[in-house]
Amino acid sequence: MPQTNTLLVNIRRIMRLYDNMLKPICERHALTPLEVTIISFLYNNPGRDTAADIVELRMLSKSNVSQAVENLIQKSLLQRRQDTADRRRMHLSLAAGATPITQEIEAVREHFREQIFQGFTEQELEQFAGFNDRIAKNAKAATSSR
């Protein structure tokens, strides 16, 4: 049985590695880590294009996301449009200026995957994906029942 401390330390280590790999993008484009997260989210989650979606799926603070979205709009990297059925709902989309950033994020993500899965066989990657899905479902069920 894996020890909880080891699991939590490994999760933190993996997150720190990914955050550190994104730092050059933040610096090059004068963006905060949260702003890069929002750009990445919108790029990788078509159809999930509201601030509420970002808050829910990335488990981030609503106020922090709202501020970062405003900053990205001011930097001409995001656009906002009103929902036709519900005027209170705003949809976000990446502006053309975000394209170089999304390309850099994708390159970092690929390098990150290569780093953390180095030496894994195809079968081990499939097993990991299955285990990871089960862990995520268990965590979601545990948080939903509270």
pLDDT by residue (tens digit) across 12-53?
A: 999 999 999 999 999 999 999 999 999 999 999 998 999 999
pTM for the whole thing? 0.86
Chain-centre distance for alpha carbon 84: 27
